[in-house]
Structure 1
């Protein structure tokens, strides 16, 4: 349990601080025998290494876009069955 907690904490710190240079070492360490969930996560990260490394080393952030998509989906759910498609652009697009 201590091993799993240490690896999860280390991964969380790497995500919080955007320390992509530590990713290879973390994956190597997590792939060693230990808790099966951690090694499965490491294998998944390793299979898409380039994308994960880029996410941890670049300043780009998709948060604003995701917020807009989330808001649009919420409006669509609220309007389901109540209004036609003509009203959707009026609620989504800024005035």
Structure 2
């Protein structure tokens, strides 16, 4: 079931979609958690750290134990997480210089 929640919806087979829908209809807490996980995936893949505070507030309001613990840790490091979502994933112009320093 975790795979159903964490994979992109496009990557789910028809059987997976039916199974996930069945679980979500039977358990409102899992349905709420699934929505939070999906929204967090959108924040991360879209690299929109500015949406994190609203997402954190929504998760906190739901009071789902596993997710509220995760949110607490995000809050402790919110600046770093937000910056990580905003920065490019390369070392920029410094990388060649670092290699030269290492070779000397």
- Which bin holds the TM-score, normalised by the shorter protein? 0.5 to 0.7
Q: Quick check: 1:45–1:52 contact (8 Å CA) kept in 2?
A: yes
2:49 is equivalent to residue 20 of structure 1: yes
Which one has a bigger Cα radius of gyration? 1
Hey, what does 1:91 align to over in structure 2? none
Q: 1:32 aligns with which of 58, 61, 68?
A: 61
Aligned pairs, how many? 62
CA RMSD of aligned residues (A): 1.5
> Which residues of 2 match residues 39-78 of structure 1 at below 5 A?
39-61=68-90
Give the match for residue 75 of structure 1. Answer: none
Match of 2:62, SS state, is coil
TM-score, length of structure 1 as denominator length: 0.60
Indicate the SS of the match to 1:32: helix
Note the residue ranges of structure 2 that are not aligned, 5 or more in a row.
1-29, 92-104
Deviation at 1:31? 1.1
